[in-house]
Structure formats: structure tokens, C-alpha cells
Structure 1
């Protein structure tokens, strides 16, 4: 990347500029990593040798592979990498989700007697979070004492978060307990991650107890805290009673429910009237709202909700239809021939039963009975009267299907 005179002027680089001026210019590049690399190269052409600060400033913004190469290159120019240069390369790996490379760099620091700091460990732990390596994250947290380092809030929160992501509630609770034994105070992120970990593993009683203990730590729960518990109630016995209690707690705490609150709550309802009430109370419904309500309905109620869904300007998707007797329909389709299903869709077209036609088409697509042009056209015909959004969506799907079939023929 060649640099023009205008670019040098913009970066305040002049013929008399020294290494400090060049380093300031490199620092100003930030995300423009190609420009910072060009400046490093240009320094050599101006008879200036980049120092360790020059490299340390540019490395954090490089792509992870380029960052590791740049770190190795430092040793070739008689410079000794320090904790900042290693930290920058590890940070680049963390951003890209390459936890293996981040870990290798941490181990390499020991070979060149560079002592890592808490920020270095936090970057590697964050990389483990992206890579869902919870055991390694817990191990790294324990390694801090080896270097006489003290974990901070970010260290603990990142480890709890990776345990939550991997559904390891016991590990999350253990790390949370370790946080409480330090001079640090758990914050909202600490509590919410631990609550979510317990809720994911159906430990709703422990999650509720954690929210109750937030007051002792002077941490105010938010809607995310309660949403985790409601989501964890789904599929459990007496789910709606527990969810109703959480909704009452939200009201007592003067916390406004979110769309996620309503969607998750509707999924736990075992009575149509209650689902109807929640649906009416939801301020801005979306596809998931209707899909959750449809899941708890009988056939006729599901049809009614599908109709209401389109009245709200929404097009039913696979989730909405999967909630509507999906398994029963799959069994039906798999037991008959493709021509029989196509004939049934054609009958639905004549009767104007577009939801049934769509259901059959979606199930065909999910089973070995592949829909063809006739199936699509019949379903499009069923949607023509008033269901113009769905009709257009199906026409688009038909074009994609025909293109895929053409590609398959070419490959054969």
C-alpha cells in the first residue's frame, strides 16, 4: 500500500518526524490496519527502525493470522516482545474466536520469560468463551494465582459466561461462589450469567434464590434476569404457575416486561384463554409470539392464530407451522406417495384452505417427499385470495428450488 504525500500530511508525518511521531500516526490508524502496516514499511524507507511501541500499537488491530506473524517478526529485528505485544496478538486471536492460537501465545510467553498480566488472561478466557471451552476457562482462572495475579470482575464474569453457554450450572455456581469470597462484588452481569446457567439446566429454584440474593449485594435485577427463569420453566411441570409468579415479581419490582418475556411466558401456558390474554397484552407481537401461542393450541385455535398472524402483516414461517401439529403431519406425509400429497394440496387449493396447503408443502420439504412445481403452484393458488405476501414468498422459494434442481442435474 503506497502512501501519498497527502496521506503523510494527514497523519502529521514530515521529513523531520522521529519514531515518536510515526508511532502516534500508527496509533491513530486503529482499525485501518493496512494503513498501519504501510506506515511500518515506510519507516524503513525513511531510515527509521520501528521500535517495540511501533509494533505493539499496530498488532491489536491486525487479523489474527497477521498478528501472530507480526509477533514472530519482532524477534527477527532484534526486538524483545513484551506483555503488550503478546497481549495485542492474543486480543486479535480472541476477536476472531481462535482460542487455540490465543492459548499457544499465552504458553509462548513463558518460553521467552514474559510475565502475563490480568488483561492477557482475560483475553484468552474470552477466546475460550467464544470457543465454548469452559473447562479450560476455569483452569485459566485458577492459574492466575501462579503468577501472583488477582482476578478482576471481567475474569470471573467471562468464566461464568462460558459455563452458562455450555450449560454447566454447577461450574458457574462454583465460580460465582469464588467471586463472592474475594474483595470483589458480583455485578448484574455476574448474577445474570449465573441465573441463566441455572435456568438452562432446569435449576429454576436456584435461579430464583440468586435473584433474591441480589438485593443483599445492592444489585437491581433487570428484565433479562427474569426472562432467563421464564425460559427455563418451559417444558417443566407446573411451568405456568412458576411463570405467573415471576410475572408478579416483575410487576412488584416495577420492571417492564419485554417481548421476550411475553414470548417465553406464552410458551409455558397450558390454557388457551391465558395465552389469549398474554397475546393481547404483548405490545409488539412477532412471529415467535404467535408460534409460542400456536404450540399450545388445538387444531382449530391454531388456524385462528395463523389467520391473525397474517392480519398483523406477518408471514408464517417454518416455526409457526412446526408448532401446528408438525409431527402428526410428518407421519402422514411419510406414509403416502408424493402424488397423493400433491393431490391433497390441489384439493386444499380448490377449497381455499391455504394453511393446510402450506403445512403439507413445508412438511414435504422437510421429508424425503420433495415438492415439485405442481406442489408449489397449487399452494400458490391456495394463497392467491388475500394471502399475497405468502404467495410472493412461495414464488421466490419456487425459483430457488428450480435453480437447485438445475444445479443437481448439471452435477450428474
Structure 2
């Protein structure tokens, strides 16, 4: 029975002819006859998928006892999920006394849509332990759900449960697991799954190849990615634009010329689309090769490929890599003057360009423009603005921006606090730096070496050697932080403390500890000089 709390959709009721046909169909169902009119059956399915509350009301409260050639509840649940009403779908699932595996599958899809992977796993566990009716298709759905939620450990556990239940994994199972490992940055595990497909008598499909190449791309393993790409072509798995784009993405950064060559080769045998060109433009971004990226955008437009916001954003990111802030601002203006709309990622790329070029005033203008466009500046936006102000010696402005971020309910992370602490270090504000460090720890952030090193460096500049050495407690043997603390000791000629810090770095490489050795020697020398001054005074 449909819960009363569920309200009908804002859609019209069926026509009089539809209603009469459906009533006749339901009359046959209530009399227990199986010779259903195909047209009426199709009409009811359509009604249930579009206006599920109307369909369920026609069925009445005794619909569970009807002999229908399909599950109207499953159709209604699927309709709710497609319309992003996953809560309604789960409510429908809970409204019946007996759930079939088909309904469990629909409920699992609803959990997936609502990003409720934990609830989905609970449903699957209940079905598995209480009724033992889980099949490979259900496991595939659960593995994919966890993959999309970036829960690769749970996807792997489900794969193991599938084997424990003596079920046979199919190619969809393997592809779903590859996807989980790809999103989780587990490229070695993805390749292991790729190899296991042959052991199960399955040949890798183009989806398998694409997933593994993407996993290698995330792991900066371009050699493995290109090897798989070559193998896919030789095995006649078929090279589509998705596969080629994954290979291009794997060459992002230092191997950008290979990315352009892959695009050229693909153009020679097929028709590259926006996805392939976007991947190639993105490949040019880390190295700041914005001229090449711009040429690609122009080439795409000459081939009647309509550019989108994402490819413009990648072009701006390439400008940021080269600190070409004027070009980044120009492209932003071009984008806004056209039919496209810049998003938060676009503005963050422009902010990054201004940060790299140390154009703090333009960065503040871009941040203001973002907020004027009714967009929400995120932690990346504020981190760039805080960072560039700090690097340009405007630590007060950095603190103002940090305060604005917190007031706007931005979820501050360790990067934001680290940039603010670095700004204070640049401005010789050791007291404020320590306050920010304490504030970050109070909100349960796990402070990294960058933040600690910046705070220690701020203390070192002010000659606060006791505070520098105190901050080192709980921090691993990091050369930068220890060198800063040793330098603080050297300023006050506390050579014993400097040497003690040097001993703690025992085991590090000679190159790493060279700076610390130099600082320790300076501390001893300064102590000796002061001793000589004292002796001459006598």
C-alpha cells in the first residue's frame, strides 16, 4: 500500500479512454485471468513510469495480490529514481510486506541516485543473509554504486563476497571493479582486474581498456596507458573517442606532445569530438603551454565543434601554468561575452593564474566578480586569494579573506590555513601564525608539514627558538621544519639545541641535512663569538 505521506506528482490524470482501458486491464487482473490485453498492459506501464501515484491509486490497496505480468511497484520506483525522487522510491520499497530481488535492485538504484551507498549496502546485506537471493546483477549494481561513491574498498569487498557466494562474475562485474579502482587511484589493482578477465574466460572490452587507461592516467603511468591503448587497437577492441581521450589524458603534463600526436592520429582515422579536444587542451595545462592549447581550440572551432565552458576552463588553466594572467582574464571575458557561462572552476583557474603571477589586486577583483555572478566562492577560491596576498606581503588582507571565508560558511581545509600561516610568516607575524595553527587544530584539521614549517619559520625570524622547538613535537623528521627550528636556535646561539635537532635528523640523506648542518655550525660559531666577547670583557 502506498504511504499517505507520499504526495502525487504535479502531472495530469489519464484521459477517459486511457482510464477505461486501464480499468478493464485491472479487472482481468483482479479476476485472476492471465490473458492481458497488450495495449492495456503497455498503457499501464507508461502511466506507472510517468505518473506513478495515479497508477498506484488505480491499483488500490490490494495490488500485491494481483496477478500482473510486471511489477507496477518496480516501475513506479524506477520512475521516482529517474526523477531524482530517490526518497520516494525507498518509501515505496518499504511500503510492501514482501520484497522481491527485483524490488531490491530498484531500491539499490535509488540509493545510488541519492548517494546513499551505506544504505544500499545494508539492503544488499539483508537480502544476502536473510534470503540468500543475491545474484551477479545485484552485486554489479552494488559494486558500481560504491565505485561512483569512491568507495573502492567496499567494491572490492563486494567482489570477494560474490566469489564467496559461488557466483560467476561477468564482464560487467570486472568493468565496475576497474571503475572503482580508477576513481580510487588504485591503478595497480585496476591492471590486476584487467589480467583476471582472461582467467575468467572473458575478453576485455573497450570499456575495460578505457577504465584501465584512465586509472593509469590518474596514477601518472602514461607508459602503461599507451601500452594498453596500443594493445586495444591491435586486439580490434575498437578505438572510440572515449578510449582515445583517456589515452590523451594519460599524457597530461610533461608528455603533452604525445597527447597532441594521439589526437592527430585519431583525427586521421576517425572524427574527434569535443571530448577528445578537451582532453588535449587539458594535457597542455600543467606545463603552461597555453599557445598550443589555444591552437587546439581554434582548430576544433574550424571543424564545427562547439566549444563548452570546460574546454575554455582548461585553456585558462594552461594560462595559469604559465602565469599568463592577462591572457587568462582575456579568455574569461571572451567566454562571458559569448553564449557560455563561466562557473566556479573557471574562476578558480583565473584566480590561480593571478596567484602564479603575484597579481593580488586582480585576484581580488576576480574573486569579487565571482560573487557578483551569484556563485559561491569555495575553499579553492579563497586559498588562491589568501596565497597571492601573502606572497605579496599583504598579510592583513590574507587574514581578512580567511575571516570572510569562515563567515561565508566555507569548509576551511588545511591548505587554506597553511596559506594564511605562510602569509603571516612572510609578514613576520609569528604570534598570529601560532594563533591560526591553534585555531586549525581546534576545528579538528590534521595539520600538515607545510603549516608547521611556516609557523616554525615565523618563530625563527622572531628569534623564538623555544616555540620553534616546541612546535616540532609530534612532527616527523622533516628537514625544512627542523632547519627552521635550528636556525632559530642559531639566532640566540643555543648551539646545544641546534646540535640536538641535528641528531634527530640522523638517517636522512646528506643532501637533505646539508642546510641543517650549516645552521648548526653557525650556532656553534655564534656561541663561540659570544664567549670570546665575554672573555675580552673580563
Cα-to-partner distance string for 1:234-269 (whole Å, 9 max, x where unaligned): 34xx33343344345435544536331342243255
Cα-to-partner distance string for 1:167-199 (whole Å, 9 max, x where unaligned): 221221122222232222221111111111110
Instruction: Say yes or no: does 1:291 pair with 2:307.
Output: no
Q: Which residue of 1 aligns with 2:156?
A: 138
Cα pair 1:55 1:85 within 8 Å, conserved: no
Q: Which residue of 2 aligns with 1:243?
A: 259
Larger deviation: 50-59 or 183-192? Answer: 50-59
Q: Which residue of 2 aligns with 1:325?
A: 354
Superposition deviation, residue 102 in structure 1: 2.0
Q: Which residue of 1 aligns with 2:51?
A: 32
Cα pair 2:284 2:293 within 8 Å, conserved: yes
CA distance in 2, matches of 1:121, 1:329: 52
CA distance in 2, matches of 1:223, 1:30: 33
Judged with a 3 Å threshold, the aligned counterparts in structure 2 of structure 1 residues 55 and 107 are, in CA distance, closer, same or farther, namely farther
CA distance in 2, matches of 1:12, 1:142: 48
Cα pair 1:129 1:137 within 8 Å, conserved: yes
Cα pair 1:56 1:88 within 8 Å, conserved: no
Instruction: Say yes or no: does 1:105 pair with 2:105.
Output: no
Cα-to-partner distance string for 1:299-350 (whole Å, 9 max, x where unaligned): 5xx42564466457458752452243324547x56xxxxxxxxxxxxxxxxx
Cα pair 2:183 2:215 within 8 Å, conserved: yes
CA distance in 1, matches of 2:328, 2:351: 14
Aligned residue for 2:28, secondary structure, equals coil
1:174 to 162, 170, 192: 192
Superposition deviation, residue 206 in structure 1: 0.8
CA distance in 2, matches of 1:85, 1:359: 50
Q: For this pair of structures, how many residues does the alignment match?
A: 338
Higher relative contact order (CA 8 A, sep 6+): 1
CA distance in 2, matches of 1:5, 1:307: 56
Judged with a 3 Å threshold, the aligned counterparts in structure 2 of structure 1 residues 232 and 3 are, in CA distance, closer, same or farther, namely closer
Q: Which residue of 2 aligns with 1:303?
A: 326
Cα pair 1:266 1:279 within 8 Å, conserved: no
Q: Which residue of 1 aligns with 2:168?
A: 150
Superposition deviation, residue 86 in structure 1: 2.7
Q: Which residue of 1 aligns with 2:108?
A: 90
CA distance in 1, matches of 2:330, 2:230: 42
Judged with a 3 Å threshold, the aligned counterparts in structure 2 of structure 1 residues 4 and 56 are, in CA distance, closer, same or farther, namely closer
Superposition deviation, residue 203 in structure 1: 1.0
Cα-to-partner distance string for 1:126-145 (whole Å, 9 max, x where unaligned): 22123222111122223223
Larger deviation: 254-263 or 202-211? Answer: 254-263
CA distance in 2, matches of 1:218, 1:34: 48
Q: Which residue of 1 aligns with 2:29?
A: 18
Judged with a 3 Å threshold, the aligned counterparts in structure 2 of structure 1 residues 74 and 51 are, in CA distance, closer, same or farther, namely farther
1:260 to 278, 285, 289: 278
Cα pair 1:93 1:102 within 8 Å, conserved: yes
CA distance in 2, matches of 1:171, 1:266: 28
Judged with a 3 Å threshold, the aligned counterparts in structure 2 of structure 1 residues 55 and 307 are, in CA distance, closer, same or farther, namely closer
Q: Which residue of 1 aligns with 2:407?
A: none
Cα-to-partner distance string for 1:278-317 (whole Å, 9 max, x where unaligned): 4543425553254034224455xx4256446645745875
Superposition deviation, residue 274 in structure 1: 4.1
Contiguous gaps of at least 5 residues in structure 1: 334-354, 371-412
Q: Which has the larger radius of gyration?
A: 2
Judged with a 3 Å threshold, the aligned counterparts in structure 2 of structure 1 residues 241 and 70 are, in CA distance, closer, same or farther, namely closer
CA distance in 1, matches of 2:124, 2:328: 55
CA distance in 2, matches of 1:4, 1:271: 59
CA distance in 2, matches of 1:51, 1:64: 27
Q: Give the TM-score, by structure 1 length.
A: 0.67
Cα pair 2:26 2:59 within 8 Å, conserved: no
